[in-house]
Amino acid sequence: MPFQEILGQPKAIKLLTRALTTGRLAHAYLFTGPDGVGKAATARAMAAWLFCGAERDLAPCGRCPGCIKFASGNHPDFFHIVPDGMAIKIDQVRSMKKQLSFAPLEARQRVVLLEDVHTMRREAGNSLLKILEEPPPDNLLILVGSDREPILPTIMSRCQVVPFAPLTVDLAAEILVRCDPDLDRSQARVLATLADGCPGLARSLETGGVLDVYRELVEGLFTAPEDPGPRVECALKLAGRAAAGKEGLDLLLDLLEILFQKAMKAHLLGTPAGKLDDQVARAREQWNLTQLSDKVQAMGSARRALARNCNQGLVCEALMLDLLECSPRVLGG
Ligand SMILES: [Zn+2]
């Protein structure tokens, strides 16, 4: 991701752009701030900028050997250090220091990205201090740390600290949609809100599987068999899927409710299908206003039952039977 595409960090980007364009880089930077707001992406963008060998204004050319090697993850002058287990260990720091004593192989400058430096204990931190004070020439160290945990003050005092801010929900949602074009904008907003404006965190919610389950459920609701028996079976199967991801259930309910509400709105406003997300258009086609309003009410009942600590599995079963309109008559009652 080039520098200019990093969203929501104008101060940090301005400062770093100035340093890059004037050739006045500090020897070590420390990017701090919440998780998942673009710190490591910014560090990579700096590396990309420094490794490009073409004549250009700002963005790397993407075509020269330096750009191609970095993009493929094979640049010999890019060191990326992440915690070995729970923390960055002293051995990792030592081996890095050893390599830094040699000149860069291809680029004018080697770039070392150390992620999660807040995990570093004093021993590893102390080993890093000397190199932070006087790095061998032609090395740029970029340390990235979360503000969840304190970073050793001795490290902070030897780096130029660049604070990164949390993003607005809108911006975080925009970044999510950019990363996953299939993601519906309002779903992205829900994720972004839940993750306090940190797209990185929201993506972990996403990769936690909630969105996959959501998509499965919606598909199941759209394509459930008409025959009563198999329809009930289908409802119970979907309920099992929904209840399995315990942590994500609230989020799942939010996402479903958004879909139903949007389909209701589309009915009421008569929005042309071309202007609707695929799922919303499909939901409007499949269910009339009364059916959709019943579904929204069913979501409300499920939420209230969960708030009363009712059994999640049973709540999901009742909900899915409601959503598929499996009436008691169908159940043999
Ligand atoms: Zn290039």
**78: domain range?**
3-165
Cα of 79 vs centre of ligand 1, distance in Å, is 19
Domain boundary among 112, 138, 165: 165
Question: Looking at the structure, do residues 161 and 212 belong to the same domain, yes or no?
Answer: no
For residue 226, what are its two tokens?
A: 């008409």
Question: Looking at the structure, do residues 10 and 153 belong to the same domain, yes or no?
Answer: yes
Instruction: Count the Cβ atoms, other than its own, within 10 Å of residue 314.
Output: 12
Neighbours of ion ligand 1 (CB under 5 A): 52, 54, 60-61, 64, 67
For position 70, what pLDDT does the model report?
96
Per-residue pLDDT reduced to its tens digit, 277-321: 788 899 999 999 999 999 999 999 999 998 888 999 999 999 999
Is 95 part of any domain?
A: yes
Cα of 73 vs centre of ligand 1, distance in Å, is 14
**What CATH number is given to the structural domain containing 50?**
3.40.50.300
Per-residue pLDDT reduced to its tens digit, 116-149: 999 888 899 999 998 898 888 899 999 999 887 7
Interatomic CA distance for residues 91 and 89, integer angstroms: 5
Is 196 part of any domain?
A: no
pLDDT of the chain, 333 residues: tens digit per residue = 777 778 889 999 999 999 998 989 999 999 999 888 899 999 999 999 999 988 877 789 999 999 999 999 999 999 999 999 888 999 999 999 999 989 999 999 999 999 999 988 889 999 999 889 888 889 999 999 988 778 888 999 999 999 999 888 888 888 888 888 878 887 788 778 766 677 776 776 666 678 788 889 999 999 999 999 999 999 999 999 999 876 678 878 888 888 898 899 999 999 998 888 788 899 999 999 999 999 999 999 999 998 888 999 999 999 999 999 986 544 433
What separation, in Å, do the N-terminal and C-terminal C-alpha atoms of the chain show? Answer: 59
Is 331 part of any domain?
A: no
Bridge partners of residue 78, in order along the sequence: 111
Closest CA to 325 of 281, 294, 302: 294
Q: Within 13 Å and on the Cβ side, how many CA atoms surround 34?
A: 17
Question: Looking at the structure, do residues 22 and 138 belong to the same domain, yes or no?
Answer: yes
Amino acid, res. 81: I
Interatomic CA distance for residues 14 and 250, integer angstroms: 39
**What CATH number is given to the structural domain containing 213?**
1.20.272
Interatomic CA distance for residues 274 and 285, integer angstroms: 13
Question: Looking at the structure, do residues 42 and 151 belong to the same domain, yes or no?
Answer: yes
Cα of 177 vs centre of ligand 1, distance in Å, is 27
Cα of 83 vs centre of ligand 1, distance in Å, is 30
For position 29, what pLDDT does the model report?
97
Is 198 part of any domain?
A: no
Question: Looking at the structure, do residues 59 and 132 belong to the same domain, yes or no?
Answer: yes
Task: Write down the H helix ranges in the chain.
Answer: 10-22, 39-51, 65-71, 90-100, 122-133, 153-156, 169-179, 185-194, 199-207, 210-223, 228-244, 249-269, 278-286, 289-307, 312-323
For residue 257, what are its two tokens?
A: 């409710």
Question: Looking at the structure, do residues 117 and 223 belong to the same domain, yes or no?
Answer: no
Interatomic CA distance for residues 24 and 160, integer angstroms: 12
For residue 6, what are its two tokens?
A: 């990093």
Cα of 77 vs centre of ligand 1, distance in Å, is 15
For position 210, what pLDDT does the model report?
80
For residue 223, give Cα distances in angstroms to 18, 217, 239.
55, 10, 15
Is 41 part of any domain?
A: yes
Cα of 141 vs centre of ligand 1, distance in Å, is 21
Cα of 89 vs centre of ligand 1, distance in Å, is 34
Question: Looking at the structure, do residues 212 and 153 belong to the same domain, yes or no?
Answer: no
Q: How far is CA 187 from the centre of its chain?
A: 13
Cα of 65 vs centre of ligand 1, distance in Å, is 7
Is 117 part of any domain?
A: yes
Cα of 43 vs centre of ligand 1, distance in Å, is 17
Total domains in the fold of the chain: 2
Let me know the angle formed at the C-alpha of 209 by 228 and 33, rounded to the nearest 5 degrees.
150
Cα of 227 vs centre of ligand 1, distance in Å, is 61
